[in-house]
Amino acid sequence: MIEQNGHPHSHETEEAHTHPNSGEHPTHSHDHIADAMRTGNRRRLLGAFLVTLVFLFVEVVFGILSNSLALLSDAGHMLTDVLGLGMALAAMQLAGRRHKDARRTYGLYRLEILAALANGILLFGVGAYVLVEAVRRLLDPPSVANLTMLLVAVGGLLANLVAFALLRGGANDSLNLRAAYLEVVADALGSVGVIVAAVVMQLTGWPYVDPIAAAAIGLFILPRTWRLTGQALRILVQAAPPHLDLDELSQALLELEGVVDVHDLHCWTLSSQMEVASAHLKVCRGADAAVILRSARTVLGDRFSVGHATLQIEDETADCRDCSW
């Protein structure tokens, strides 16, 4: 789509919206693919949510009955799974409505990123609690029902594997889904740790293995949670996508025939798989603005995977004042 507006000044301002792999109707094609992807991800999330919710109650009940910190810590992780999956599902559902108005011109896509950030904060809290409780139990180890702990942990691992299989296919498409996926992976490894601890206690009777396994689960989760939270914060502060080299992008636009300068370039992530850019292109006198816009659209979409861009065309004699921020 190209809009041209004449002005009494010495230059014209033109805007173009770019869509990768665009054809006759690029916007509809891009939206159709995004909608299909979100529908599949919602189904994955719903299946994983139901499986995890059912087994959460099993782990809580038997964790209390067996007095196992490792099992209760695994239940705590599973609780964050349920909350995280629920938030992710709700955020994806709301974002998928694409409800836009004068105050929400980008719709509700950012809710997915907020859900991912909330999941990261939850995981931080659970990990810290488990580490503190593990230290307390190392100082005063309680008795633990080993066999109950083992049986429930095996069941928990099976539930995690089902959720893992459901979420794996969409983990690279959405930061929101990746957050839920990482939670399930961590919980599955936590179940493995509980199983190992239960077997060791059953064979040796050594009471310290339960809090040690719980602490190992907490230490495994924290660095991954840190990276996930960092990704969500990077998007929320509108930093440039890490895979995009803005100098390279600017040079690619500058190499287009007729372009003499590129400035006021911005690029950020709206939500997962949705990169946005804006820039001012100063062109030589007599250049065909429509041709330049089409070329810029192709470069941004095909080479840099930027799905939406607003480009302002300026005459080379124009005095454009960039924003200081």
Q: Where do the structural domains in the chain lie, given as residue ranges?
A: 38-236, 241-315
pLDDT band of residue 323 (cuts 50, 70, 90) is low
110-169 pLDDT per residue, tens: 777 887 788 788 778 877 877 887 888 788 776 777 777 788 888 888 888 888 887 776
Domain 241-315 matching CATH 3.30.70.1350: the answer reads: yes
- Residue 173: pLDDT above 80? no
CA distances from 239 to 173, 243, 269 (A): 19, 11, 8
pLDDT of residue 221: 73
Amino acid at 282: K
3-state secondary structure of 309: strand
Mean pLDDT taken over the chain: 75
Domain 38-236 matching CATH 1.20.1510.10: the answer reads: yes
Q: Average pLDDT of 14-35?
A: 42
Q: Average pLDDT of 66-73?
A: 75
Q: Which two tokens stand for residue 20?
A: 């990768």
pLDDT of residue 34: 47
CA distance linking residue 143 with residue 205, whole number of Å: 10
pLDDT of residue 204: 84
Amino acid at 239: A
pLDDT of residue 35: 47
pLDDT of residue 96: 57
Q: List Cβ neighbours of 232 (8 Å cut-off, separation of 6 or more).
A: 113, 114, 116, 117, 120, 175, 179
- Residue 279: its H or E element: strand 274-283
Query: What b-and-e string marks burial along 268-283, b requiring 16 or more CB atoms within 10 Å of the CB?
Result: bbbbbbbbbbebbbbb
Q: Which of 138-147, 236-245, 275-284 has the lowest mean pLDDT?
A: 138-147
* Higher-confidence position of 10 and 116: 116
The secondary structure of residue 140, as a DSSP letter, is S
pLDDT of residue 217: 75
Domain 38-236 matches domain 241-315 at the CATH topology level: no
